[in-house]
Chains A and B, each alone.
Chain A
């Protein structure tokens, strides 16, 4: 029977959410197309995770090797390429994570198999793979056909498929590692932790999130004053940190922090999914953006389509008015 492979990504002793999200989507695809769902678990001392994964898949392929302890695309590529050649799965699902984007493209070239990256949906039409992906920072979607092949590789966007409760009792199959030689081209050295920050944005009730729409560093005092009026804290999208206008501990999103304040006010933020993932569970979201089609409006409770440079001073005035104070 044909298989669907799901690579179970783990880091620092934990299986990452993306693995369960892909297993959920994988199960749906496997049922529709009458295939088996197989979780692939590579690592060192990861047997305990095999048990967990077996509740989500028909089979768990387990390979333990000290060379697989930390993620290393070179080591993973060798092992996966072996497994794919041997089992010939119709589909191999890898997370579109920092780990997955380092691994999948070269693996696909190595195996001469087509790859579709950052997929937000997948379906088979008679063994032909159709994917949905986003372009232009999420402003449009495309449905695309992947070149016909006996085996496909995809990377799947995080937090796109909701992981469901386990329902299976799969078989764990352990095989010896095919890695005989040392990995020479690439070597993991260490994890580098973010510098300890001054402000903890995850603890704030009121967050004013600023994005590239604020245009210039000279406009920072304007938004700082608004945050002060609220008694809130400034957070931001990535470009603000990239430009050095705020320190990295203020960044909200996949490569920053996940926040859940009582209110998140997004000023000049377009709503790229990497940002939205970090704030969409806020109790209340208010967005100010001059573009009525900005994706942020499909996550916000309230939207204001206007120039933030007009709204911010007016809003500051109103807050002080309500508080009975002078600005």
Chain B
């Protein structure tokens, strides 16, 4: 079983203060910590587990700058066999469609039975790269996957629906599955694993190597062009309770007592 996992190197923003940069179209990246996209972490783990069960290879692939090597190294340390980074200044400003084209141009000449992506990327959240990649490759797909059972050329997968419901569907191989969080428990990497991964090669390819033209990638090759980024206006703002933890706790307790909740 040859598996390809698409991984994205993204900034961690949940706890960071976000500033919009001088272009007004992107966030200020300096000072932010980058790591593997949360969903891709689960996708990689799933790929490694499938390999451990059925044999084969896992190849991690990313479209991103040189910094993204740290994410690829993490994948190698966790059990990926090969890593590919697609880097070119002309890839900048690519939306999910252009990214999928870049990935497809490379993946189409690799051997694979299964491609895993995350359900979405935590930065731009298009929720589209996986199924677009599948359509470009002419293979089937299933998104929001929470369980995978492989069996002789088909996969039975559980797709997450809303409200806790799931549906089981059968999909033919080869296919693209987009993985939802919680499908497994990603393993920790041992120091040994990281050391070994440092020695593995990361293959780097650019626009000239993948047979696409300048017009296929970047803003020119995208569906979406960002005009302006802004902080969402808040319709309502909480009343902030100020003071020491004891003081705010006393205020909360009083609010709840007044409502008969204590």
- Does B associate with A? yes
Q: Which residue numbers of A lie inside 8 Å of B, CB to CB?
A: 11, 70-74, 96-99, 101-102, 104-106, 108-110, 114-118, 130-131, 133-147, 155, 158, 184-194, 205-206, 212, 230, 238-239, 241-244, 248-249, 251, 254-258, 262-263, 270, 284-287, 290-291, 293, 295, 297-306, 310-311, 313-315, 317-319, 321-323
Q: Do B132 and A106 touch (CB < 8 A)?
A: yes
Q: List 17 A-B contacts (CB under 8 A).
A: A98-B160, A108-B132, A118-B126, A142-B228, A142-B230, A143-B227, A146-B224, A147-B225, A186-B140, A186-B171, A188-B169, A192-B167, A194-B165, A230-B262, A257-B164, A286-B255, A306-B248
Chain A at the B interface: SS class: mixed
Q: Which residue numbers of B lie inside 8 Å of A, CB to CB?
A: 11, 13-15, 17-18, 20, 25, 27, 96-97, 119, 122-128, 130-132, 134-136, 140-144, 156, 158-172, 181-182, 185, 222-232, 234-241, 244-246, 248-253, 255-257, 259, 261-262
Q: Specify which chain A residues have a CB less than 8 angstroms from the CB of B226 in the assembled complex.
A: 142-144
Q: Do A322 and B167 touch (CB < 8 A)?
A: no
Given contacts A98-B159, A147-B225, A298-B235, contact A262 B18 (CB under 8 A): no
Q: B131 — nearest CB in chain A belongs to which residue?
A: A105
Q: Specify which chain A residues have a CB less than 8 angstroms from the CB of B245 in the assembled complex.
A: 306, 310-311, 313-315
Count of A-B contacts judged by CB separation below 8 Å: 270
CB proximity of B237 to chain A, nearest CB, Å: 6
CB proximity of B120 to chain A, nearest CB, Å: 8
Bound complex: CA A109 to CA B156 (Å): 25
Q: Specify which chain B residues have a CB less than 8 angstroms from the CB of A117 in the assembled complex.
A: 96, 125-128
CB proximity of B220 to chain A, nearest CB, Å: 9
CB proximity of B209 to chain A, nearest CB, Å: 23
Q: Specify which chain B residues have a CB less than 8 angstroms from the CB of A286 in the assembled complex.
A: 252, 255
Q: Do A139 and B13 touch (CB < 8 A)?
A: yes
Bound complex: CA A255 to CA B164 (Å): 5
CB proximity of A289 to chain B, nearest CB, Å: 9
Given contacts A98-B162, A255-B163, contact A291 B17 (CB under 8 A): yes
Q: Do A304 and B135 touch (CB < 8 A)?
A: no
CB proximity of B183 to chain A, nearest CB, Å: 9
Given contacts A115-B97, A317-B249, A318-B249, contact A254 B140 (CB under 8 A): no
Q: Do B229 and A262 touch (CB < 8 A)?
A: no
Q: B101 — nearest CB in chain A belongs to which residue?
A: A109
Q: A135 — nearest CB in chain B belongs to which residue?
A: B124
Q: Do A303 and B224 touch (CB < 8 A)?
A: no
